[in-house]
Structure 1
Amino acid sequence: MAVALRGRPAHAPGNTYFSYTPNGRKLVTAGINGAIRIFEHGSDGEPDIIDVQHDVHTAVAATNDSFVVGCDNGEVYKYNLTTKRMDEMLTRCTGRINDLAISPDGKWVAVASEELEVKIINLDDMTNIMSLREHTGAIKQLSFDMSGTTLTASCVDGMIYAYSLSSEQPQLIRRVDGLINVLSTESDAATRATWHPDGRAFVVPTESKELQVVSRSDWTRQKVFSGHKSEVSALAWSPNGALLVTADLDKDLKLWEVKSQKVLKTYDDVKNPILDMQWHPKDNVLSYTNTNGELFIREDFVPDEHRRLLRAETQPSPLNNDPLAEISGNARKPTTNGLAHKRTAQDDYLDDLLGPDVMSEDGDGFIEDDDGAGYAEEPNHFGKRPAQTSNGAPAKRHAAYSSWEPQIHESFQPGSTPWKGNRRYLCLNLIGFVWTVNQETHHTVTVEFYDRHQYRDFHFTDPYRYDKACLNESGTLFACPRSSQHPAIIYYRPHETWTTRVDWRTELPEGEEVTSLSLSSSCVVATTSAGYVRIYSLFGLPLKVYRQKSTPAVTCASWRDYVMTVGNGPVGGDGTTRLLYTIENVKRDEICQSEDILALAEGTELRSVFFSDKGDPCIYDSDGVLLVCQHWRTPGQARWVPLLDTRTLERLAGGKKEESYWPVAVAQDRFQCIILKGGEQYPYFPRPLLSDFAFKVPVAATQDDEDEGAAHQKNLEEQYVRLSTQQSLLQDLVENTHATHTQKTDLATMEGEVDKALLQLIAAECREGEERGMKALEIATLMRDRSGQMLTAASKIAQRFQHDRLSEKITELAERRMVGLVDEDDDV
């Protein structure tokens, strides 16, 4: 009776990871509980235990002298294997550590976290750091090649990024697409590119649950290992590369012969999914950890009948048409001049040692298909052998197993509502609103304006059933989905022209749908289901068609010649995609921001995208936060600044009201919206009234019991931050456009308002006492006025409160500024 396999309880139930030291003498495990265990190879004794302060470890990698562990709080620590003590914290990241990999020479550790950066840290000098930033999402798993000059990084975007580390600055040398699954970093399925010991290829689990070998020389697909029915969770080459062991999430553990890609044995005693797996560097031992906190050390893992493969010299990678395969220790020697060589006593000895059926007698170097299992089938043009049924006919593909899918953000049209009964709004903004009624056989569309002196309302019968619309001062834009009678259509109707008004329509290619529309004073923009961004003039002339980088598309907005598109980007650690946005000037063909991350808080969704009346991009999220994009005209400098958090409105204080807000626009420095009562999510009929709220940047929390002085101080601080943001937006507009005289005057006025807010803050600090003088002086250095009038006023304020020393300091600052000795960014 076979003895059941028993694991060693290394950690509390949960994901557990381990690493052998390169010499194979020690094995280090890390997992859920706040301890690290160090096992001696070949010993049944209790492991050494290092108690640490961090409860959850997510990765571990070891050298002969030390080991490195990563934590779920983003910290990475180095420990000494001799003293069993922590040497130092190597780095701290903003998200959990996903993986660690130590270079073969033991000098560098690569750190993958939830950040969009991989850090490569020198283990002897933690200040010596290289960074990899060319990937578009978080890296799930890492691996060095045998030389340590190439690092492969498996990304959540479904790509493998190969970096060269042979120069001082790492270089991206290849993106390998179409192999690995798009998975979250917390998925138990593996995406690691595991390098063969000869360094010429790596193997990686694919979307089809196979293991694909990829050549290093030209990055092409080579041999394939097929046999798993579930996602592969761990894999490892034997030290000589002759064997491969793999495990999947269905708890199948398989041992493969590398040369033939044949399963030698399937182990059915695995009780929990395997997460981490390694061969011992020298012995016939396989170790692995699982999702239950257990460590298994399986001695005599390779059966006796196949142990000769483990004893051979390093074998070549399983490449197609590889000449090295013919001279490996496992291959038949070639004939001379096309004739078989004469058998010798050495040949008889090798047959006795290796077995007579290792190779066929025809000298062609292929595995005989003596059991009809199809191992000798020629690979098809995809590099895979066709499956066979019992009668030899090609087998049908099995139904796909359920697999994890990322949560993408659905596309939406800003200002549009879903159906309620037979009515819905297609567009709501400050110009007016467009609504439609479902009449079963057709729709009727009505366009109404707030200013009926300038515009004339109209309505029409809609046989196309338009489902998207935009409205501005120039015209009304519509789009309809395709049907059996017609393809998807874009329709534009100008309000008025100096010639006869001419509507225009354009049909999209067959099968393509409009996912979002936007209309500005100079162009029409449509994102489509095919991933295209289509841009037209107001008279229907196609200006641009290009494929959006981040897909599926989510929405778009436009203002004058500027177009902003939003799409789904890489998958984050929570399994949802990160939204990316691009802003471009279509007239000048300039990219202002390219595929930058849209600043949404975790767990929130995008509700609307629009440009303010001054032309600044704004977004509104499901938490009720309004943000504006600052410095968006300068590539790489954009950031999203909150202008208002509607949850902090005074009208909601104390739970007096239950209401939310439907975003409409940002105009006249106020948030224009529709108030939704109770649990409503969308505005409905009759036509709702517009409301507006002043901006209030969430600088600090407001306490109900705080004194009047503290509340006044917070209000002044909020006023300064808000006015500074608005001044910055206006300054960017003036500096980057043909600004009008009014805009330049407004900028000067806004700068004065910022300085007035600073004067009030100085007065508040002086009122608190002379001990606040240093802060008051710091505030004075922030003043923008170059004439010295504001600093003179600040000095008088200090004198009024009898802070003579502060007054002298401010006067000195004003004098130095007047002679150009102090810049506003310099320390005082």
Structure 2
Amino acid sequence: MNVKKRPMRYAHTDGHTDVCYSDNGKYILTCGIDGDVRIWAGLEDDDPSSQCVGEQALTVVCKNDHYYVGTDNNNVQAYSFPGSDRDGIISRFTAAVTHIAISNDGKRIVAGSSDMEIHVSNVGTSKTTVLTGHKAPILGVALDPKDKYVASSSCDGTVRVWTIDDTQTVHSWNCVPVCNAFLAAKCLGRPSWQPKTGHYLAVPHGKEIRIYERETWNKVLSFSHDQVKQDFSISAYSPCGNYLAGCTSGGDICVWNVNLHTCVMSTRHDRGYRICGLAWNPGGNGEIAYCDVMGQLGTIEDCIPSASQDNSSVTQEKTMTVDDMIHLNPIDDDDDDDNENVISLDKIKAELSQPSFFGDNDKLSHAVADDDDDVESKISGVARIAPVCDLQPPFQPSSTPVHLQHRFMVWNSVGIVRCYSTEDENSVDVEFHDTSLHHALHINNFFKHTMATLTDEVLVLACEIQDEAPSKVVCVLLNSWDGSKEWSVDLPEGEEALAIAAGKGWLAVATDTRNLRLFTVAGTQREVVSLPGPVVCVAGHRNRLLTVFHNGMGLPGDQSLGFAVFSLGSGQLQVLTAFQPLSMTPKSTLKWAGFSDEGTPFTLDSAGIIRMFSRKSFWLPLCDTQAHCKGKSDHYFVLGISEKCQNVRCVLCKGSYYPPTTPRPAVAEISLKLPMCEATTEKSVMEERFWRLQLACSTTGDMCKMGLDSFNDKDALDRSIKETVIKLFALACRSGFEYRAVEICDLMPSHHVVQLAMKYASKLGKMNLADKVAEVATRKVDEREQGFQNDQVDNIYTLRYASDMESRFLPSRSMSLEESSSTYGTKVNHLLENATNASTESESLLLAATKQKKCEAQTEIKPLMSLGQKRLNPFKKSVARVESSRGLANLDALYAQQKSDKNKCNSILEQPPPPQKTKIKQTTLSALKPADSPAVRTTAKKLPTFFEWYEKEKDALAEEFPDLSASELSRQGMKRFKGSIQSDTQVPVTNSSAESQTPVPETKKRKSEEESGLHEENPPKKTITSSSSKLMAFAFKKS
């Protein structure tokens, strides 16, 4: 359709300008930043009447014989039309009035101001209703034709719908770019009601105008244009309600037929200036008047088809619907059973999925053809269209919106990238937290980059398609050894970059064609991945890449997002987590996505919930940032997350989602916390701490497997977990919940902790509970042994911590393991031997404890109690220190004795029957550690254990050695028991081992015949040999 665009002319000085028509459409009224209101008798009027109303006039509206002006005098002033005489003040504010709307009858006026208030005034009664709730200056207002609702847009980024009677907000949308002043706003976001009925509300939303249904506020349609590159700023329904006009901040003006859902006119400002005023001629001639920010006035004629063209197009559409489309998609005859002469257009449209028709009727009626009415003359709305969910646009994590003049392009743990896009400057500043990594950078933003990502290797910048220039990606190398500083690449024609990310040795670019392009940091192109949906954001960490994309159409108000995690290590691309849905809070959007310092994926939605993707492939909430905000409109801007420190690094934004660049905001830390029920109780606090530490321990364990030095962190987390679970067990015991206490034992990380719980239950006198706990400990020991047999690789990995755990709970036993392990040749055999001994000792602990409870009469064995009380070598005497002072005098003899002991141990290990091998190990450990408690002594399956043997031989030993103490008597019994075991197994030995063992029975025979005085001399010699053997072994290793 050919439109007549009249040349623009000067109307006011540079700045915001507004325009409106008189009721008859003969006059055009304009106001500008110069404070004047001019009345034009057409665009070619060279002598318009002018009236000075203040220093600045920001808005004007005309109705009947008055026009109303909003000025910087903070009031709405009424003037007569066309005489321009003052006729009173309608409403007063505390800041400049920014926009005015008036009802059809002229009795009610709505005005918005920079003081964030909206006044609804009755001209006849002078009664004013105040609407408060916006957090920034008002940009535009629109009054419902039925005087029930008011729609408003604000600098706080929202468009709200208010009820006039109760002054409450019934619905709101976040669709306006955030700014801090009316004159600084590039997009006004002014809504418009459908005339007469007000059944639909048009709201600018990015690069489209969306139509929402009254009462339900569901989106039913959206209008856009392929040539539009900037956001729509103003929407306006035509007086008849069949057409909708919209203008953008880039100078585009479009007109759509809302019935046919087609664009009938599109034009652009000659110089691309922002349109700040738009009005339809109420005469219905299809004329539109508009103003730009340079104070110029222009008109466009014939924006809508003539009546004959419009009727013919509608007739053709209806004829096509009734005659031709039935053949394309036949309709079931059952639909017209009630009346064969009735043709229902809404049923036909529903079958063919045609757009809705928006008529002037308040109800969506059916078009019925009969003998008296022509079907072609009664077109009204038909089938309703299902609400469409608004797809979230792509964004860069830890960045602020693009429309801001001063913004953060990225703020992470490496540094801060700021962008300044003003009329005087367009540059990018890079600041590093660690100046030793690289000095600060200042880059002229010639390509108008809007995206950035920063690592310790590269700075990556990307821009969108601009006019005829393609989308470009620029990579600045920070630590290049060959002297090259940067490289760039142009994306294919028609492909635009939407999100970028970088990691260790790679960078990724997600485009609007659903391609994920990978590059090396030096510029080599890698794989190109096709994403299953439009990208939302991407994030990188070391060799991992997180992608978030739209996974389909979600429920009304919800976003259906999916994600995937890739691995880019070793030059190959692999999928770590397959494409699957992303968990989010209902009715929310994604605000941040990335990795923690340890490499775990995290997300933040608009509801303030931070979620973590655990190592077991499920999402769980870890923090509610809104719970830490004092105001409802406050939010936290996430910078990074640390699982080691269990906190979130973020910036508090008061009244907004994003922080300002100046002054530099302070970084705060929020502790991670699982959302437990009854979170303030002692039980819930410890449960939350336990599970949160479990997650951190799992992450740290994976880092250790990857070769990262995190063993100290894992040890600290293990200690914290054990302390917390023991406290939970104690709380359950004190509260009388023994069943719960046994359940807590199942959650304990090892059988050693279960043994501590068993001792605690025994001290409280809860013997039934102690028996149940002992069963749990036995089961954990069996599971541990089975795990060692099935997975030796994991065994070797986890044994890094096994020695620390044993030294923490069984220090003397851990020392004996170190001594016995010195006889093995390789490190792996040493670890496996320690694991076998540890599992055997754990089993003996449980068996001994069970025997103590069953045989209460035998629990008064004094040697065993004294051994249990002294864990740290009770047989060590002061004489040993004097003897050890002789030091290296007997190194040759000691070396020979150590060699014989090694040969003896090797000969024992070569025994083929497994039970005998186990017995030998138990005997060796008992010989090295006679000071262990009775619960630590090992048992055998076929041969009697020392515990059973000592019970039988105790009286005989006491008669044979009446002068020995309880500890010395048990020590003498241990020697006898070792001798009997060795004779029963009949282990073949070499000459050297036989010679080394020869003095042992002689010593026993001499002790059986001599008095206790000789007995006191021999034990120190044995102690000397033990300590000196250690010294000799150390000297041998060093040589």
Whose RCO is larger (CA < 8 A, sep 6+)? 1
Q: Which has the higher helix share?
A: 2
Instruction: Find the structure with the greater CA-based Rg.
Output: 2
